[in-house]
Homo-oligomer: A and B are copies of this chain.
Amino acid sequence: MKKIINNPENVVQEMLEGMVAAYPQYVRKLDGFDVIVRANAPVKGKVALVSGGGSGHEPSHAGFVGKGMLDAGVAGAVFTSPTPDQVFEAIKAVDGGAGVLLIIKNYTGDVMNFEMAGEMAEAEGIKVASVLVNDDVAVEDSLYTTGRRGIAGTVFVHKIAGAKAEAGGTLEDVKAVAEKVIKNTRSMGMALTPCIVPAAGKPTFTLAEDEMEIGMGIHGEPGTKRTHIMKADELVDHLMDKIINDIPYKSGDEVAVMINGLGATPLMEQFIMNRRVSQILKEKGISVYKTFVGEFMTSIEMAGASITLLKLDDELKQLLDAQADTPALRQL
């Protein structure tokens, strides 16, 4: 296992310490919990957004804690849902009196633990709502999921719901716009290599030197098919065909595009993918409002990438454009 770590048992703890040391102007860690909150949490009178899940998807989720996005990111063990008490502590720490929205990626463990935490918080008088992100069109059910999985499109939910909350939206408003994003977001990915969970020390699956897996999940869950390595354009055509046919599009529609690297895939390859994505959208008369290329929701050091399209309307465009300032957005 080739990793720059100390002890596999401590990777999450040490990562969070290193993150807080890097960005104290943005975030702090709750004592005794693997929870990152805004440095100034709770923000009084603002709806608070809490997300999280297993670690290994950095910069998600703690990297998106900051003005205009999340109020807390809860970090479970690698690829393991955080426990209800961790999420509960996060909710209590960030509630500013206007309620808390839980943004949950659709994995059975996350759903169960976040919802249990929400109930614990409600029992203490905190208003809690939740949304379930299920943007991955690859498979209908999966290893850890009933229904579709939540992947990189989740970051669009953080951004747009975060902007709505920052602008003074009520818990109902923020939940409604988060649901609108979810309704209009579709993603699909692929992998060229597995990744290694530090505590396991070896890859959870193998792919031959000439193989790739289409529709693979962000924890290495099986996708739709294992195939020879396709050329970039053929691969993008395949992914885009699934993504674009999952909700109705007509000529003149506008989208935001996200090309998301899974960890070891260079920006060079992500841009080569985006070249073909933009060609396809142009052919279909779909207008690209904004594009984001980089690592947003990774799978440790997996080689691979996903494509996300978010179909926009005026409200979503305005919220997407709103200013946000978090560690993962601030590169210099």
Contact = CB atoms under 8 A, between A and B. Distances in A.
A87 interface: no
A19 B233 CA distance: 15
B301 A265 contact: yes
Interface string A281-308: 0000000100111111010110101000
A275 B14 contact: yes
A330 B259 CA distance: 14
A4 B267 contact: no
A3 interface: yes
A59 interface: yes
Contacts of A294: 331
Contact of A18 (B16, B17, B272): B272
Contacts of A300: 266, 268
B291 A192 contact: no
Interface in A2-44: 2-7, 11, 14-19, 21-23
Given A4-B265, A232-B4, A272 B332 contact: no
Given A2-B212, A18-B272, 12 more contacts: A2-B209, A4-B235, A6-B232, A14-B232, A18-B270, A19-B271, A22-B259, A56-B266, A69-B332, A266-B298, A267-B295, A301-B303
Interface of A: 2-7, 11, 14-19, 21-23, 55-56, 58-59, 63, 69, 155, 159, 192-193, 209, 212, 229, 231-233, 235, 257, 259, 263-278, 288, 291-296, 298, 300-301, 303, 305, 320, 324, 327-332
